[in-house]
């Protein structure tokens, strides 16, 4: 039996709200929803009605980057890509755990689902197929319909990009289906990339560089160009731009996994797209955020809409105090460091994450671990010269460390709170910040995305923001593409890398500070470092490591920190994460495959 997806069109004073109802059995996701034609004429009777179909595409269930866990009742459960991509410990009973414990299968929880993806694509295609029939009342109204069409084009590409990051190519749906069509097979990878680019070029031609303030968060021409750049950087990366992965050598449909060969010109296309997006962004007034100073820039832009944000998700203004408001969950349950009298935690960075931060001089204090054991760090010569000790791991670190991580002895909410964070595990120690929760495995918590000011009182409000692409991302992707294209960093590549480092008070790039057998390898590792610390908790690292075919970095025996009467020591948390090569392409759920003609399973599942 197949699952029916129904559209309920509710009219309230000519405003249409589209709601999706799903029954208990799985359906062919490409199939036409029953009864969907009935109200189409009403929907497209005016631009004010028709825009509701586009607005729907910005709903959290379709548009969210899922970089952070939000709500227990969210579409993904309590899940974010940071759960699986950062060197952080999270409770192991969350539904995402199969992504990291080596059990990912066609029966596993999926962070994003095909029914949502194809519903969003269908809605966007429906708008495009009917846009010419919308009755407009003025030239301004007609121009607005063009902009709505631009948004629909952009959302189609955005949805397929979310899909290909997970599964590789998908069936390409170029129009809303009426039923009875032949099965649509998974598109060749190259054709899917080209199709996304075509939609984004159309979007960029139709959209404004900026919307008026009340429409902040909608796709712009700059955002469309930035998304095109990101897609082409991904497509040029080793996972796709090269031979089919060895584990999939026997797969019958290799064309859905990537190009199957290497072509350096794919990096040329990526570099050109990045430069075009950067030029458009700068012309529109986008710039790296620097107003808070090197010690606060990263923290502040995680909480505040700035000119650095290009594509992002906005939420309603709210406060966590007094109820289950969005920000209550968006702040990732920071009970142990905030104003809540509870000890439990969600995200807990590991000592390996802390070890990864450079010193302020751009050198790394930890060069590795004896036998790969995180409790036995190898202090580098730079670390020795700096007098590094675990007891004072926080000294002289990249300023982004202090903005990303809360640690024993740091401050939290210093505008109203004079207490120092005290993560001591000994109950006899006074003024401890956290209690004796059994789930505590590390004396670190995230600071980024946690608005400390909310603890000052219930009358403090702010409007959360989740970044999808910001200007720093474009700078680093451009630098990466230039280096890959030229077999090593150019002057311009180094310049754009340094712009990101300088904003956080870090010295210019020095190849001597990075490992690698060639100048290109060293620069790649510099890009890898910047993206790790710059985009911490932004859901980037998991997909970066996969596109670089460096998923082995996700194999980690997690080491925590324990504070006992002020003394810092390392401990084995008892938890390790596992990455297998087949996870470069996630499995489709088995019922998706069995009920959707043209869809077939990825290799290894």
Confidence of residue 386 (pLDDT cuts 50, 70, 90): very high
**What residue segments make up the domains of the chain, in order of their start?**
297-467
pLDDT value for 416: 80
Check pLDDT > 60 for residue 24.
Answer: no
Of 319, 344, 275, 289, residue with least CA distance to 451: 319
Average pLDDT over residues 475-500: 98
R_g of the chain, CA atoms, integer Å: 24
Measured CA to CA, the distance from residue 493 to residue 416 in angstroms comes to 43
pLDDT tens by residue, 201-210: 999 999 999 9
Distance of CA 319 to the CA centre of its chain: 24
pLDDT value for 449: 86
Mean pLDDT for the chain overall: 87
Query: Which residues, in sequence order, are bridge partners of residue 6?
Result: 21
pLDDT value for 75: 57
Three-class SS state of 128 = helix
The helices-and-strands tally (H runs, E runs) of the chain is 19, 12
Confidence of residue 573 (pLDDT cuts 50, 70, 90): very high
Average pLDDT over residues 58-77: 74
Residues in contact with 544: Cβ distance below 8 Å, sequence separation at least 6, in sequence order = 528, 531
Confidence of residue 76 (pLDDT cuts 50, 70, 90): low
Check pLDDT > 70 for residue 291.
Answer: yes
pLDDT value for 12: 25
Higher pLDDT, 26 or 603: 603
pLDDT value for 330: 42
pLDDT value for 91: 75
Average pLDDT over residues 412-441: 84
E strands present in 82-123 = 88-89
Measured CA to CA, the distance from residue 539 to residue 439 in angstroms comes to 24
Confidence of residue 460 (pLDDT cuts 50, 70, 90): low
Confidence of residue 198 (pLDDT cuts 50, 70, 90): very high
Length of the chain: 605
Three-class SS state of 471 = helix
Check pLDDT > 50 for residue 20.
Answer: no
**27-36, 75-84, 450-459: the lowest-pLDDT one:** 27-36
pLDDT value for 23: 30
Structure tokens at 553: 């970095």
Check pLDDT > 60 for residue 335.
Answer: no
Kindly report the number of other CB atoms within 10 A of residue 171's CB atom: 20
pLDDT value for 601: 97
Residues in contact with 122: Cβ distance below 8 Å, sequence separation at least 6, in sequence order = 33, 173, 176, 177
Average pLDDT over residues 35-39: 50
Average pLDDT over residues 304-332: 63
Average pLDDT over residues 55-73: 80
434 within 8 A of 563, measured Cβ to Cβ: no
pLDDT value for 144: 98
Report for 4-13, 455-464, 563-572: range of highest mean pLDDT = 563-572
pLDDT value for 172: 96
- Strands 567-577 and 348-349, how do they pair? unpaired
Check pLDDT > 70 for residue 223.
Answer: yes
542 within 8 A of 532, measured Cβ to Cβ: no
Confidence of residue 60 (pLDDT cuts 50, 70, 90): confident
Three-class SS state of 451 = coil
Check pLDDT > 50 for residue 328.
Answer: no
pLDDT value for 344: 59
Higher pLDDT, 335 or 593: 593
pLDDT tens by residue, 171-190: 999 998 877 788 899 999 99
pLDDT value for 43: 86
**Percent of the chain scoring above 70 in pLDDT:** 85
Residue 261, judged by CB atoms within 10 A of its CB (0-12, 13-18, 19+), counts as exposed
Residue written as token pair 């010269």: 385
Buried b (16+ CB within 10 A) or exposed e, 16-53: bebebeeeeebbbbbbbbeebeebbeebbbbbebbbbb
Average pLDDT over residues 390-407: 97
- The gap between the terminal CA atoms of the chain, to the nearest Å, is 24
Confidence of residue 367 (pLDDT cuts 50, 70, 90): very high
Check pLDDT > 60 for residue 342.
Answer: no
Structure tokens at 527: 């890009």
């Amino acid at each position: 039996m197949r699952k029916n997806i129904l559209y309920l069109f509710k009219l309230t004073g000519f405003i249409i709200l589209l709601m999706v109802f799903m029954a208990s059995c799985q359906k062919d996701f490409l199939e036409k929803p029953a009864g969907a034609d009935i109200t189409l004429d009403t929907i497209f009777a005016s631009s004010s009605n028709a825009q509701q179909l586009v607005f729907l595409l910005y709903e959290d269930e379709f548009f969210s980057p899922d970089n952070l866990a939000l709500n227990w009742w969210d579409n993904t459960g309590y899940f974010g890509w940071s759960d699986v991509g950062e060197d952080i410990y999270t409770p192991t009973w969350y539904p995402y755990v199969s992504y990291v414990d080596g059990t990912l299968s066609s029966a596993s929880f999926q962070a994003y689902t095909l029914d949502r993806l194809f519903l969003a694509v269908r809605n966007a295609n429906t708008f495009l197929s009917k846009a010419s029939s919308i009755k407009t009342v003025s030239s301004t109204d007609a121009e607005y319909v063009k902009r709505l069409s631009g948004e629909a084009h952009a959302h189609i590409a955005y949805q397929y990009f979310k899909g290909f990051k997970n599964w590789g190519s998908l069936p390409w749906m170029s129009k809303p289906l009426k039923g009875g069509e032949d099965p649509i097979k998974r598109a060749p990878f190259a054709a899917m990339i080209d199709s996304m680019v075509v939609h984004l070029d159309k979007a960029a031609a139709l959209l404004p560089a900026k919307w008026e303030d009340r429409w902040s968060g909608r796709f712009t021409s700059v955002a469309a160009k930035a998304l095109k750049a990101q897609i082409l950087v991904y497509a040029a990366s080793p996972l796709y731009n090269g031979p089919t992965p060895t584990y999939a050598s026997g797969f019958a449909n290799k064309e859905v996994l990537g190009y199957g060969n290497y072509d350096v010109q794919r990096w040329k296309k990526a570099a050109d797209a990045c430069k075009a997006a950067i030029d458009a962004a700068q012309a529109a007034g986008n710039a790296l955020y620097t107003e808070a100073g090197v010690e606060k820039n990263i923290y502040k832009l995680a909480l505040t809409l700035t000119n650095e944000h290009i594509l992002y998700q906005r939420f309603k203004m709210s406060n966590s105090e007094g109820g289950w408001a969005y920000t209550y969950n968006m702040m990732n349950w920071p009970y142990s460091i905030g104003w809540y009298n509870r000890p439990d935690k969600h995200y807990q960075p590991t000592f390996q994450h802390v070890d990864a931060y450079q010193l302020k001089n751009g050198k790394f204090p930890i060069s590795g671990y004896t036998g790969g054991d995180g409790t036995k760090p190898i202090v580098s010569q730079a670390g020795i010269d700096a007098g590094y000790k675990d007891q004072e791991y926080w000294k002289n670190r990249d300023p982004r460390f202090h903005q990303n991580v809360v640690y024993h002895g740091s401050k939290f909410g210093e505008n109203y709170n004079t207490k120092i964070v005290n993560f001591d595990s000994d109950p006899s120690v006074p003024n401890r910040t956290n209690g004796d929760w059994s789930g505590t495995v590390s004396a670190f918590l995230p600071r980024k995305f946690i608005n400390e000011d909310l603890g000052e009182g219930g009358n403090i409000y702010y409007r959360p923001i989740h970044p999808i692409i910001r200007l720093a991302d474009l700078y680093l992707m451009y630098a990466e593409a230039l280096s890959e294209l030229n077999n090593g960093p150019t002057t311009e590549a180094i310049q754009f890398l340094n712009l990101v480092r300088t904003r956080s008070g870090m010295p210019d790039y020095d190849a001597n500070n990075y490992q690698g057998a060639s100048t290109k390898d060293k620069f790649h590792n510099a890009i890898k470092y910047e993206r790790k610390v710059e985009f911490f908790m932004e859901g980037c690292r998991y997909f970066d490591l996969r596109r670089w075919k460096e998923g082995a970095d996700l194999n980690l025996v997690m080491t925590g920190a324990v504070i006992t009467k002020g003394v810092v020591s390392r401990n084995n948390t008892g938890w390790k994460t596992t990455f297998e090569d087949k996870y470069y392409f996630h499995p489709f759920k088995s019922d998706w495959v069995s009920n959707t003609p043209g869809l077939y399973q990825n290799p290894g599942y």
